[in-house]
Amino acid sequence: MRIIAEKDFENFVNGLIARDDREVVGVQSRNSHYVFDDLEDAKDLALDYDVTILPPKKYLMPQTEAILEYEKKKGDFSMEPLLEVEPRIIIGIHPYDLIAIQQMDKVFSDTYEDEYYLDRRKECILIGANMQNVSDRSFAASMGTATTDSGYDLMLTDLGDKYAVEIGSSKGSDLLENAKTRNASSEEVEKVEEVKRRVKEKFEKELEFSPKELPTLLDQNYENMNFWEENSETCYSCGTCNLVCPTCYCFDVEDVNEITMDSGKRVRRWDGCLLEGFAVVAGGENFRDNRAERYRHRYMRKGKYIYDRYGDIACVGCGRCASQCIPDIADPCRVYNDMKEMEAE
């Protein structure tokens, strides 16, 4: 563990912005909310944030991207793959988002390796930041994601007038060579552990049982359509909960033709299982056209389906879905607690 003075940290970040070939992005304040965006000055960093509107996955899996272009020549179509990779340094990622990225790494490396995601991932340096403040809709402590010992290249902990920096990879170590740091004392190492312990006490929301019970609980309530219909009654099927989630990875692919029909691009963009057209297949059949079924699928995916395949609970407790849902029905913590309470009755 290394220690860097606050001023030296600013100089380090500004040096990256000025001299590093990679794009430098970080968490910044925007109209009472927080976003990951391009950094122009280290003073714009807001490392005391609670939660960002969108997770940093937007840099690894863009909302919209062209994956190939095609053109008609002499009666035949020629196709050229497109893959734009912007090397980046991302500063200020909370532990729950780092854990979400680790889950995404598994998904996009499994069976078919997705080069669009993986090439961007290889070219990213992830600088985490232990939480100072927590969102009132977050329950990350219950999900075991309020802190993490992996998934980062560097991890920052605010110690007042200085930062403790934990090194998680050789890429992080190499990057830190350009900073003025010193070894942490035993007292400073203990202070970091104290910060991690205290942040878990700041969460107002909590899952009232172990998340390890979720797969079984959901399996037992799969056919309980009264529960799913009651909870989804005011759902707009807008898909916002999908779009702000750090572990949702579904996308749609379509060809966008020029008006001449002689050329175009194949584009993929974020998609979500709450959207009415998500499960439409060839011939127009929709095997999940019922709103309650789509609502159920989202929770099954978070708490059981991903667990069955990868061993991960795919809800990291960030609270974004709950805070962005207009009718306020997307809170996994409430839904899972209600389901557990119903089981106990």
- What does 163-217 look like in DSSP terms, one character per residue? EEEEE-SHHHHHHHTTS--EEPPHHHHHHHHHHHHHHGGG-S---SS-GGGHHHH
In-domain check, residue 206: no
Residue 130 lies in a domain: yes
The number of distinct structural domains making up the chain is 2
The answer to whether residues 189 and 228 belong to one domain is no
Whether 181 and 221 share a structural domain: no
The pLDDT value recorded for residue 178 is 86
With 70 as the cut, is the pLDDT of residue 345 above it? no
Last residue of a domain, one of 176, 201, 226: 201
- The span from the CA of 316 to the CA of 271, in Å, is 20
- Same domain for 219 and 335? yes
* Whether this model's pTM surpasses 0.85: yes
The last residue of one of the domains, among 157, 179, 201, is 201
CA–CA gap between residue 44 and residue 317 (Å, rounded) = 27
Residues 48 and 102 placed together within one structural domain of the fold: yes
Residue 291 lies in a domain: yes
Is the model's pLDDT at 190 over the cut of 80? yes
**Looking at the structure, do residues 190 and 42 belong to the same domain, yes or no?**
yes
- Quick one: 192 and 215 in the same domain? no
Residue 78 binned pLDDT confidence (cut-offs 50, 70, 90) = confident
Section 156-174 average pLDDT: 96
pLDDT band of 335, cuts 50, 70, 90: very high
Residue 133 has pLDDT above 90, yes or no: yes
Q: Is residue 273 part of a domain?
A: yes
The residue count of the chain comes to 345
Looking at the structure, tell me whether residues 164 and 17 fall in a common domain: yes
Residue where a domain terminates, one of 156, 172, 201: 201
Domain extent for 150: 2-201
